[in-house]
Amino acid sequence: MISFEEILAKYKPDSEERSRIDSLRDNLLKQIHGFLASNRIDARPVLVGSVAKGTNLKGGDLDIFIVFSKKYSTGEMEKTGLKIGHTVIPGGKEKYAEHPYVSGTIDGTKIDIVPCFDITANSKLISSVDRTPLHTDYVLKNIDEKKMDEVRLLKLFMKRAGVYGSEIKVSGFSGYVCEILVIKFGSFIDVIKMFARSKGPVVVSEDDSDVIRFHSAVIIIDPTDRSRNAAAAVSEENLARMKIASKMFLGKPDPGFFGKPKDFVASPYRDRGTVQRIFLLEKPDIIDDVLYSQAIRFKGIIFQILEEEGFYPISSEFAISDEIEVFVECKLEVLPKTKVHTGPPVDTPNVKEFIEKWSLGNAVRGPYICGDRLCVDIELDRRTIEEVVRKRIMEYGIGKNIDPLKNAMKIIDPSKTGRKFLVLGKFYEESIL
Amino acid sequence: MISFEEILAKYKPDSEERSRIDSLRDNLLKQIHGFLASNRIDARPVLVGSVAKGTNLKGGDLDIFIVFSKKYSTGEMEKTGLKIGHTVIPGGKEKYAEHPYVSGTIDGTKIDIVPCFDITANSKLISSVDRTPLHTDYVLKNIDEKKMDEVRLLKLFMKRAGVYGSEIKVSGFSGYVCEILVIKFGSFIDVIKMFARSKGPVVVSEDDSDVIRFHSAVIIIDPTDRSRNAAAAVSEENLARMKIASKMFLGKPDPGFFGKPKDFVASPYRDRGTVQRIFLLEKPDIIDDVLYSQAIRFKGIIFQILEEEGFYPISSEFAISDEIEVFVECKLEVLPKTKVHTGPPVDTPNVKEFIEKWSLGNAVRGPYICGDRLCVDIELDRRTIEEVVRKRIMEYGIGKNIDPLKNAMKIIDPSKTGRKFLVLGKFYEESIL
């Protein structure tokens, strides 16, 4: 039998970590209170995130929101928020979510100081960041020590399955969604049973009428805002992954289902009897969510071009290393020298003109009859993946950060180099377990 | 301006040929009458074909039918017919259409002596051969000298366009159909105008209700049998060819539109940036109609196999030389080393079994999620055109004459040999003009 206690003993913060985090938190809150008082600012610091909710794993972050009165403008709120952040985190860096915020590390713990507005449950939407303190309140009112550990188990399970995190990079389940699920179903194992049993989309709501507006793989109505799907980020594929992991776990419970996600390492080329290409772009200095969404779009466009042009792509993958790496595997390396140019239907008067035009020797073959039309084979000028993609990629807007880099795109045939690529490791080793 | 007189002067039998054919005909008929009388056979010889109808071209055949009373059994009729044939054509050979008959050459003219039964117009069908004397009667009653020459022009035009002949090898228009068309529309040029103007199927009938039962490219109701489509042999492609040739001729009338069909000659390989293969079978000693229909089926099956197995065939052709030659042009020469094996939907309990089976190292990649299912990449054992076609061709019945020859099929890559093939000439030079 599997021992959940042993798993928790390994991944739950120990007493040393807890007391270190507690004193770090107290110290930060004291400093912020001091700043707000001496500058007469109508705001209050609120500890949010998993530490506030008692569902944090070993080595987790400390997130403090500064909740401003709505009397301030967004500009004032953001400016003051950054100032407080820089004051309490020496050497902190500015980052950008819905509002700018300061992020840094103290004593090995990552700390975010995020400004936001004071809103109430189910009130008119201001921004999703502003809603975070409400999530903390909701969870704290509905959770107990036992359930906090159940949430930890669910997070560890989802991490290992590769579906934990609502950022675009993962497109999975957030910590808040884990908390809602455990509160709703009672325990880790009941959540797992729900996923293992479920067919089609997973829906969790108190009122069916709230669900209608959403068309996501997973719909979990936010208890603090009925108009919001807390699980909107979860992709179809990650729901499938979670269903399968749940089925496998129930069949054979094992500690191996908990912990860190599988790590991919760079791999050299493997011969699969296919045509493999890696499209490399310089990595722009932008936040992950923007980077990943543009990289995914880049991958999709490359695949589409190769499909339209007849290289028969069969698989694709992407990875972010020092560069944006897009991998595509095709069946065809070089297009035929000719392509069929379809002319008018044989029943139209245009056939005369078509035949006269193409009988002058500028067709490679024909005119001949193809079905109810005339056709000729004409010469193709661009025939390699490199020629075709370089030309056609310019027709697409991929994203404002990537577009200026398209000209410097490198196209690599991995069979011609000993170099290892992260995207090859990710592709070759992709597996559900 | 084009001179139809000049064309006729070139292709119509001259007086020397006419008197030679006349005396050959008289001599044959006399011999047959003698045989029938001395053996007390209730039958009469009837001259049929284009000579009988006055629509013959230079060097045409002489066809004599022996029309037997219906009191004889089919066996008696056929046996006696062959005996007469051998008597009047020294060294004649037996051939097989609906009834066996004797064919041979006297003074450079090809002669067929064909036995058949005596039937009347629109009577219950006995066989299509038995109907031939009725066709001769119908044409002779409805044609005059002028129209005989119009028929000759139409035949010459159709020959050059490659659509003359109802045998499967051509799948075009018979001489009888040419006669019906000229009788119906009045002249060669009016028939050409009809084809040039027509859209979709071409239909010629006195009564629309006769047409309903047919679904052919061309429907020309036989004036001697309303239940028969005299143009059933014409393929869609040959109708298209005739329409286009008619349009081109009306645009620019030229003697080049009359005469012999374009001849194809054997050609060596030409590089088209594609994968070309020739599939060779020994030519069985059977009549052309059976040979061509089995060869066409053979070509279709090879194409279908290559399509199903993922070689992306784009063109095909066949030719009959000393062998049956089938040509197929593909985009892909060798299949990838792996193929995707699709597993159960993620929502079914079967996923556990599938994952356990394929996680033992016998999958090249995966299991991974593909859409709403699990997939693995598995190793492919047969990857070349040669391996795949040799295996899969055995699953098909192509025809009783070809099936025993499949084992000895040769598969040739024409880029690897200097040898010329008729089918390559036919494919490379295919053109509407």
Each residue's pLDDT expressed in tens, for chain A with a length of 433 residues: 789 999 999 999 999 999 999 999 999 999 999 999 999 999 999 999 999 999 999 999 999 999 999 899 999 999 999 999 999 999 999 988 778 999 999 989 999 999 988 876 555 655 667 788 899 999 999 999 999 999 999 999 999 999 999 999 999 999 999 999 999 999 999 999 999 999 999 999 988 888 888 989 999 999 998 889 999 999 999 999 999 999 999 999 999 999 998 889 999 999 999 999 999 999 998 889 999 999 999 999 999 999 999 999 999 999 999 999 999 999 999 999 999 999 999 999 899 999 999 987 789 999 999 988 999 999 988 899 999 999 999 999 999 999 999 999 999 999 999 999 999 999 999 887 6
Q: Please give the span between the terminal C-alpha atoms of chain A, in angstroms, as a whole number.
A: 20
CA distance B326 to B320: 9
CA–CA min distance B92, chain A (Å): 41
Looking up tokens 């991958």 gives A299
Strands B43-48 and B62-68: antiparallel
The CA distance from B429 to the nearest CA of chain A, in Å, is: 7
Nearest Cα residue to B335 out of A397, A206, A11, A312: A312
Mutate which: A365, A380, A426, vs B, most B CBs within 10 A? A365
Quick check: A359 contacting B, CB < 8 Å?
yes
Residue in A369, A377, A424 to test binding to B, most B beta-carbons within 10 Å: A369
Beta bridge partners of B112: B63, B103
Q: Is the minimum CB–CB distance between B359 and chain A shorter than 8 Å?
A: yes
Interchain contact A361–B (C-beta under 8 A): no
DSSP B173: B
Q: Which residue of B has its CA nearest to A316?
A: B370
Return the amino acid letter for B112. D
Tell me which chain B residues have a C-beta less than 8 angstroms from the C-beta of A335. 273, 331
Crossing angle, helix B15-38 and helix B74-88, to 10 degrees?
Answer: 130
Residue B247: which of A198, A336, A351 has the nearest Cβ?
A351
Interchain contact, A430 vs B368, CB within 8 Å = yes
ipTM over 0.95? The verdict is no
The length of chain B, given as a count of residues:
433
Cross-strand partners of A179? none
- Three-state SS for A97? coil
B-facing residues of A in 321-350 (CB < 8 A) are 331-332, 334-338, 340, 346-347, 349
CA A137/CA A121 separation, integer angstroms: 10
Flag if B352 and A251 touch (Cβ within 8 Å).
yes
Q: Is A200 on the interface with B (CB under 8 A)?
A: yes
A267 touching B, CB under 8 A?
A: no
pLDDT of residue A121: 59
Give the per-residue pLDDT at A102.
96
What pLDDT, on the 0 to 100 scale, is given for residue B34?
96
Query: Which pair of structure tokens corresponds to residue A24?
Result: 């770090």
pLDDT given at position B132: 86
Q: Check if B194 contacts A (Cβ < 8 Å).
A: no
Within 8 A of A347 by CB-CB distance, chain B residues are 198-200, 243
Residue B235 touches partner A, C-beta closer than 8 Å: no
- B383/A95 Cα distance (integer angstroms): 53
CB contact under 8 A, A244 and B346: yes
Q: Which of A243, A338, A347 lies closest to B272 in CB terms?
A: A338
Best CA proximity match to A328, nearest among A356, A348, A307: A307
A278 contacts A298 by C-beta, under 8 angstroms: no
Tokens of A8: 């928790």
Q: Residue A347 and residue B312: Cβ atoms within 8 Å?
A: no
- Contacting residues for A334 by C-beta, under 8 A, at least 6 apart: A383, A384, B273
| B24 interfacial to chain A (CB closer than 8 Å) | no
- For helices B128-142 and B175-185, the axis angle rounded to 10 degrees is 30
Q: A336–B314: do the CB atoms touch at under 8 Å? A: yes
Of B66, B69, B124, B71, the C-alpha closest to B99 is: B66
Mutation target to probe the B interface, by most B beta carbons within 10 A, among A197, A257, A431, A433 is A431
Q: Show pLDDT as tens, one digit a residue, over chain B (433 residues).
A: 789 999 999 999 999 999 999 999 999 999 999 999 999 999 999 999 999 999 999 999 999 999 999 899 999 999 999 999 999 999 999 988 778 999 999 988 999 999 988 876 555 655 667 788 899 999 999 999 999 999 999 999 999 999 999 999 999 999 999 999 999 999 999 999 999 999 999 999 988 888 888 989 999 999 998 889 999 999 999 999 999 999 999 999 999 999 998 889 999 999 999 999 999 999 998 889 899 999 999 999 999 999 999 999 999 999 999 999 999 999 999 999 999 999 999 999 899 999 999 987 789 999 999 988 999 999 988 899 999 999 999 999 999 999 999 999 999 999 999 999 999 999 999 887 6
Task: Tell me which of B199, B244, B274, B376 to substitute to probe the interface with A (most A C-beta atoms closer than 10 Å).
Answer: B244
Q: How many CB atoms lie within 10 A of CB B346?
A: 24
In this predicted structure, what is the pLDDT of residue A335? 95
User: If you search the block for the tokens 């022996």, which residue do you land on?
Assistant: B66
User: What is the per-residue pLDDT for B125?
Assistant: 52
Tell whether the torsion through CA atoms of B1, B4, B5 and B6 is positive or negative.
positive
**C-alpha radius of gyration, chain B, whole number:** 28
Specify which residues A46 forms β-bridges with.
A65
- Sequence-distant (6+) residues with CB within 8 A of A369 are A346, A375, B237, B240, B241, B244, B432
Stated as kind and residue range, the H or E segment containing A310 is: none
How close A344 gets to chain B, by Cα (Å)? 11
Please give the Cα distance from B56 to B17 (Å, whole number): 11
| Collapsed DSSP state (helix, strand, coil) of residue B382 | coil
CA distance B357 to B378: 12
Residue B118 structure tokens: 């005596």
Residue A209 Ramachandran class (φ > 0 left, ψ -120 to 50 alpha, else beta):
alpha
Using CB atoms, pick whichever of B273, B346, B347 lies closest to residue A336.
B273
Residue B151, both tokens = 């028929």
Please state at what angle helix B188-197 crosses helix B175-185, rounded to 10 degrees: 90
B345 preceded by cis ω (within 30°)? no
Of A422, A130, A408, give the one whose Cα is nearest residue A282. Answer: A408
* Predicted pLDDT at B124: 61
